[in-house]
Amino acid sequence: MIEKRTAIKLSDGRELIYFDESPAEDRMRWQDTRQLPPPPPTSQLRYDPLVDEWVAVAAHRQTRTFLPPSDKCPLCPSTPDFASEIPAPDYDVVVFENQFPSFSDRVKPDEITELTDMVPVRPGVGRCEVVCFTSDHTSSFGALSPERIRTVVDALADRTEEMSALPGVAQVFPFENRGIEIGVTLSHPHGQIYAYPVVPPRTAAMLEAARQHADRTGGRNLYADVLAAEQKAEIRVIGSNAHWTAYVPAAARWPFEVQLAPNRQVPDIPALTAQERDAFAELYLDVLERFDALFGKPMPYIAAWHQAVTGPGRDLGYLHLQLFSIRRAADKLKFLAGSESAMGAFINDIVPERAAQILRDAL
């Protein structure tokens, strides 16, 4: 649980926030000693009329740090020999503006220009932040204590609330990529938060399905009904407690995919009660342990928080965490090849009911 929140500025003007579990920490005495250039320009959004979607083009991200040695990790605390992104010699949880952001709130929305009569262009207004879960470079989210996970959840709630209020932000998306198989560029335990300037395609599809369901059922919430059906069926449920349920979706796209949802409808992380935040850690740690036990080695995964949008359709949202892996066997990965990449049509190699049973038996 957060006892103290301290915000500082890095040498290039980016914001960094310490979320401390002890009120005694004095973070202001540690300042960024680097001489950094100004943050890069924001990305450009280009509209694809063929699928009614916006694509971000962020050429400056080509120069971002890629798998540095552990003694040059930018997410570790600073040492006398190396100044990292975090000036302090130790920390609990830290959040800071990404040095290579896909979206930025340092620019104001300009008038839309055009590449062609069919392709409008607009600035990539928004914000991207990095969340460091621990100062321990060799740790992982699954190795965190329940108390530390509560601190992380509280930090995500803080950032969701602030980033949702930024001009032009349509949705706030916290996530974690784990494992080189997933494509991580930094091995230190961390996640990210994107504040999107447009509603992402998956969210747009979910909103449309939720609207149709509400119209058919006199206003019922789609995700709430799906969750209730899974709880009743039980066959794909991995675990549960008084506040959360973890289950494999009946139409899972990934070999091993679990969704964790609060048992009551809430729009986003800030809306969770203290009891719900504590109970999340209990169940999530169990699921992560099962993932790692499947093949006797760390499981590569993506953990994605689906939160309600900030504008129209917010009432249709239902907070949930989607956890999935591309590993389908001890020595095999699921690649998004022709059908998935070109057509967006997923083909799963493992029957969801079988995946659920394997996960239940993993421990």
- Residue-wise pLDDT for 139-183, tens only, equals 999 999 999 999 999 999 999 999 999 999 999 999 999 999 999
- The answer to whether residues 318 and 303 touch, using CB atoms and an 8 Å cutoff, is no
Per-residue pLDDT, 166 = 95
| 131/257 same-domain check | no
CA 202, distance to chain mean position in Å, is 14
Domain count, the chain: 2
Residue 156 has, within 13 A of its CA and on its CB side, a CA count of: 30
At residue 109 the predicted structure's pLDDT band, cuts being 50, 70 and 90, is: low
| 179/228 same-domain check | no
Distance CA 63, CA 53 (A): 26
Is 60 catalytic? The answer is no
Q: What 3-state DSSP class applies to 65? A: coil
Q: How many helices (H) and strands (E) does the chain have?
A: 6, 17
| 207/246 same-domain check | yes
Instruction: Choose the catalytic residue: 188, 190, 213, 320.
Output: 190
| 193/207 same-domain check | no
- Residues spanned by the domain of 285: 202-361
| 131/228 same-domain check | no
Last residue of a domain, which of 167, 198, 229?
Answer: 198
CA 273, distance to chain mean position in Å, is 20
Last residue of a domain, which of 146, 167, 198?
Answer: 198
Mean pLDDT, range 296-310, rounded to an integer: 97
| 191/207 same-domain check | no
| 16/98 same-domain check | yes
Last residue of a domain, which of 150, 173, 198?
Answer: 198
Mean pLDDT, range 73-83, rounded to an integer: 97
Instruction: Go through 154-193 and write b for each residue having 16 or more CB atoms within 10 A of its CB, e for each that does not.
Output: bbbbbbbebbbebebbbbbbbbbbbbeeeebebbbbbbbb
Mean pLDDT, range 275-287, rounded to an integer: 98
Per-residue pLDDT, 287 = 98
**H-assigned helices in the chain:** 146-164, 201-217, 222-233, 274-293, 343, 352-361
Nearest to 115 by CA among 196, 198, 59, 48: 48
Q: At what angle do helices 222-233 and 201-217 cross, to 10 degrees?
A: 80
Per-residue pLDDT, 153 = 98
| 183/61 same-domain check | yes
| 107/227 same-domain check | no
Per-residue pLDDT, 67 = 81
For residue 92, what is the domain's CATH number?
Answer: 3.30.428.10
Per-residue pLDDT, 127 = 96
Mean pLDDT, range 80-100, rounded to an integer: 97
Q: Within 10 A of 363 (CB to CB), how many other CB atoms are there?
A: 8
Distance CA 108, CA 250 (A): 43
CA distances from 142 to 146, 165, 298, 299 (A): 10, 31, 10, 11
Give kind and range of the element (H or E) at residue 320: strand 320-325
Per-residue pLDDT, 204 = 98
The answer, yes or no, to whether residue 64 has pLDDT greater than 80, is no
Q: What is the mean pLDDT of the chain?
A: 95
The answer, yes or no, to whether residue 233 has pLDDT greater than 80, is yes
Mean pLDDT, range 308-329, rounded to an integer: 98
CA angle 292, 297, 301 (to 5 degrees): 55
| 10/62 same-domain check | yes
Strand order in the sheet with 119-123: 53-57, 44-48, 119-123, 113-116
